[in-house]
Amino acid sequence: MSVEQAPVQRADFDQVMVPNYAPAAFIPVRGEGSRVWDQSGRELIDFAGGIAVNVLGHAHPALVGALTEQANKLWHVSNVFTNEPALRLAHKLIDATFAERVFFCNSGAEANEAAFKLARRVAFDRFGTEKYEIIAALNSFHGRTLFTVNVGGQSKYSDGFGPKITGITHVPYNDLEALKAAVSDKTCAVVLEPIQGEGGVLPAELAYLQGARELCDANNALLVFDEVQTGMGRSGKLFAYQHYGVVPDILTSAKSLGGGFPIAAMLTREDLAKHLVVGTHGTTYGGNPLACAVAEAVIDVINTPQVLAGVNTKHDLFVARLQQIGEKYGIFTEVRGMGLLLGCVLSDAFKGKAKEVFNAAERENLMILQAGPDVVRFAPSLVVDETDIQEGLDRFERAVKTLTQA
């Protein structure tokens, strides 16, 4: 017997929710593929992907099937026990990457928290109490816990929460000389995003990542890659580090890993993982059977030559059209990124107006993203249909036209 649900509307958010978010004026209620419908039945094309999460779009049959099957078996047992989906998923991640050990959790922030704790524990065990400093990049983003928000190089997110965690230094991204000047024998880890996501969809230069690897090796420090946003095929390879041929010591994954179901992972080598002995770290829901079953279906679909090649083909379609729109209306100076994580850098005339572009797109029934005030971001499904790409970009051009010809 179903229970009748009380009707809700957008105004309820302002009455019942903590006001740390400012959601759009409509409420999505259903999705299929790259299309979403709101309470009124309005249909929108989704190029936001839940902020690079809905890697296979909405209600993908493989994910629905995996979740439904597991929901009829086992939901939760905690880490007092292990479970089959977690072990199968761990094997698949290890087989596809440099990793030898996996730690499962629930969000990118948790994965990064685990990575930073592991880096400090390894340094403590091997070199003593003075080797605990972490070097990260300005404008980076690594999560919202107190530790991760301090490692993230954006003070607007870390100010106002009391004393900051010490031993963290920030240097300009893609500036190898600045990184060299900061690394010392006290450095336990260098933390980088191969593509800065929230910081503006800015890819790392190959020489920068190669130099970071060499600096870490020379100073007994660990290289940590935050691939929360770039992982699981988003870049056109399963993980972005595989484009560069630079292998980290620790890698974090979340967002697309569950295709919309909350799950995250920290990947590392066996010789490092052994420093997190029983009792040193944990999470109640980490490795949840439901989450791991869905994530296993995600990697089975994505980690195929057909899907990964398709990401690169779709990348070319997006970039060509976005560049054309940028040139026609003078709104972008650059389209950058990899795969289906793309950022359009606003021209001087539109600096600071990414939110206005977001709003204009929504009025044209298109969901997009910002990456700061000066960059419009696209993170659609990796299997978005070409017809949806063309229709979505038609809607985007109409939105841009309303702003440039106002």
Least reliable range by pLDDT among 2-16, 53-67, 181-195, 375-389: 2-16
Check whether 228 is labelled as a binding-site residue: yes
One-letter amino acid identity for 347?
A: S
Q: Is the pLDDT of residue 15 over 70?
A: yes
Burial per residue of 65-76, b for 16 or more beta-carbon CB atoms within 10 angstroms, e otherwise = ebbeebeeeeee
pLDDT tens-place string over residues 340-392: 999 999 999 999 999 999 999 999 999 999 999 999 999 999 999 999 999 99
In DSSP terms, 104 is beta-bridged to 265
Q: What is the mean pLDDT of residues 274-286?
A: 95
User: Which residues, 6+ apart, have CB-to-CB distance to 274 below 8 Å?
Assistant: none
How far is residue 277's CA from residue 273's CA, in Å, rounded to a whole number?
Answer: 8
pLDDT at 330: 96
Check whether 5 is labelled as a binding-site residue: no
* Percent of the chain scoring above 70 in pLDDT: 99
pLDDT at 405: 85
Check whether 187 is labelled as a binding-site residue: no
In CATH terms, the fold of domain 10-59+305-405 is Aspartate Aminotransferase, domain 1 (3.90.1150)
pLDDT tens-place string over residues 220-246: 999 999 999 999 999 999 999 999 999
In CATH terms, the fold of domain 74-303 is Aspartate Aminotransferase; domain 2 (3.40.640)
pLDDT tens-place string over residues 129-146: 999 999 999 999 999 999
The pTM of this model reads 0.96
Q: Is the pLDDT of residue 150 over 80?
A: yes
Check whether 129 is labelled as a binding-site residue: no
Check whether 108 is labelled as a binding-site residue: yes
Q: Is the pLDDT of residue 3 over 80?
A: no
* Percent of the chain scoring above 90 in pLDDT: 97
How remote is the C-alpha of 306 from its chain's centroid? 22
Check whether 402 is labelled as a binding-site residue: no
pLDDT tens-place string over residues 199-218: 999 999 999 999 999 999 99
pLDDT at 1: 52
Check whether 35 is labelled as a binding-site residue: no
Question: Is it true that 10-59+305-405 and 74-303 share their CATH fold?
Answer: no
Q: Is the pLDDT of residue 153 over 90?
A: no
Q: Is the pLDDT of residue 70 over 60?
A: yes
Q: Please state, as a whole number, how many other Cβ atoms lie within 10 Å of the Cβ of residue 239.
A: 24
CB-based contact 256:55 (threshold 8 Å): yes
Confidence of residue 51 (pLDDT cuts 50, 70, 90): very high
Check whether 213 is labelled as a binding-site residue: no
pLDDT at 4: 74
Check whether 271 is labelled as a binding-site residue: no
pLDDT, the chain, mean: 96
Check whether 39 is labelled as a binding-site residue: no
pLDDT at 5: 80
Classify the phi-psi angles of 248: left when phi > 0, otherwise alpha if psi is within -120 to 50, otherwise beta.
beta
pLDDT at 406: 61
Q: Please state, as a whole number, how many other Cβ atoms lie within 10 Å of the Cβ of residue 330.
A: 13
Domain ranges for the chain: 10-59+305-405, 74-303
pLDDT at 2: 62
pLDDT tens-place string over residues 293-341: 999 999 999 999 999 999 999 999 999 999 999 999 999 999 999 999 9
CB-based contact 343:337 (threshold 8 Å): yes
pLDDT at 310: 97
